[in-house]
Amino acid sequence: MARDTGAETPDPKGFLGRRVTRRGLAEIAAKSMVVGATLVGAHTLGTKADQKSERIGEKVRAVYKGSNRPEVVAGKVAEADVARPQTEFDLVYGGLSGESRRGALAEIFRVQGLMLPNINPHLGRIKQKEELVRKSAREAQVPEDLLLGLVIAESLGDAKAVSYAKAKGLSQMMDPMAQKYNLGISQGDDDERFIPEKILAATAKELKEAFDTRYGDWGLALWEWHAGTGQVFRALRVYFSEKYGEELEDINVVVADETPDAQQKATAEAMRRIVHNKSRIEGRVNMYDLFQNQSIAGMFEGEEWDVTHEYVPRIVASSLIYKANKNLIREDLA
């Protein structure tokens, strides 16, 4: 749920709508080499890395169980590296190689340039929330950096953020999701979505549910937070039809009547289809390749397309920007 984050956001349209000139991008890049270095250090670009990846031995593949991290596929694996957690980029784009991988990296770099001016003024506020975000992620078994990136992308760490669509709190949760997790809804400050502990726990649980029951893919789980289950499955049905010549089951089940029994049967059938689809989705789709599909792009219009196809890259970029810059915050100003 990409939302307008209110008066504290420098860009009145909300940072998801921000655009800068080429000159502006150059200035941002010059001031934020540390951000780029973070990503480049973990993900080497270029032909040399691709050539090395082709020559990797089976022993290295077995040690790291299929990781696509360049320092791994290049054969430079130390025991400490094998145990190191995957980065945000790995978790979302780890299955990519070659041109697709380079394209995904370029997209992250581009989005970093757009977001840096909006994130840096709020580093202190974000840092105050970081430990609670990480704790909530650990308890739900969700990657910590991805939940952190989502919070930054959605609210810039503002627990009182309210969007034009009435999404509220750190993760910009809509009313139906709040009801699902029994969070109190009101028009005032007593709305429980404004309580960081409660909204973060619910958000992490929802991401975990999406990963475990619907996709087996963190990128899709994150996109669902913004787009909703129906929109994600519509895109996946198009993708699988065109890429694999396969038809995923439609998860929209027609309810025979309004009786509780009929509704329960429809819900059970929808869940059966979702579980069946997951067995076919997992490991066969990637967010970058999904949005290269022109039929999927045609499902969205204008700014809606910009927002939805940049949503997951912005989560990845948000976490990377914050981690690269948080140690520059003066503790007395945080």
List pLDDT tens digits, range 105-135: 999 999 999 999 999 999 999 999 999 999 9
pLDDT at 196: 98
Listed ranges 275-279, 298-302, 321-325; the one with the highest mean pLDDT: 321-325
Neighbouring C-alpha atoms within 13 Å toward the C-beta of 16: 27
The answer, yes or no, to whether residue 246 has pLDDT greater than 80, is yes
Least reliable range by pLDDT among 73-82, 96-105, 175-184: 73-82
Q: What are phi and psi of 255, to 5 degrees?
A: -85, 130
- CB-based contacts of 89, cutoff 8 Å, min separation 6: 39, 42, 43, 104, 105, 108, 316, 320
Share of the chain above pLDDT 90, in %: 61
The answer, yes or no, to whether residue 141 has pLDDT greater than 60, is yes
Query: CA nearest 142: which of 226, 208, 214, 217?
Result: 208
Query: CA nearest 197: which of 133, 146, 153?
Result: 133
The answer, yes or no, to whether residue 320 has pLDDT greater than 90, is yes
The answer, yes or no, to whether residue 5 has pLDDT greater than 50, is no
CA distance 292 to 122: 32
pLDDT at 302: 86
CB 29 within 8 A of CB 177: no
C-alpha of 115 from chain center: 15
CB 281 within 8 A of CB 248: yes
For residue 193 the two structure tokens come to 């979505």
CA distance 257 to 91: 42
CA distance 273 to 249: 6
Torsion from C-alpha of 121, 137, 200, 312, nearest 10 degrees: 60
The domain ranges of the chain are: 15-43+87-328
Look at 64 and 270; give whichever has higher pLDDT.
270
Angle at CA 92, nearest 5°, toward 240 and 306?
Answer: 75
pLDDT at 329: 77
DSSP result, 80-91 = HHHHSPPPHHHH
User: What is the average per-residue pLDDT within 210-222?
Assistant: 96
Ranges of beta strands (E only) in 60-208 are: none
pLDDT at 254: 83
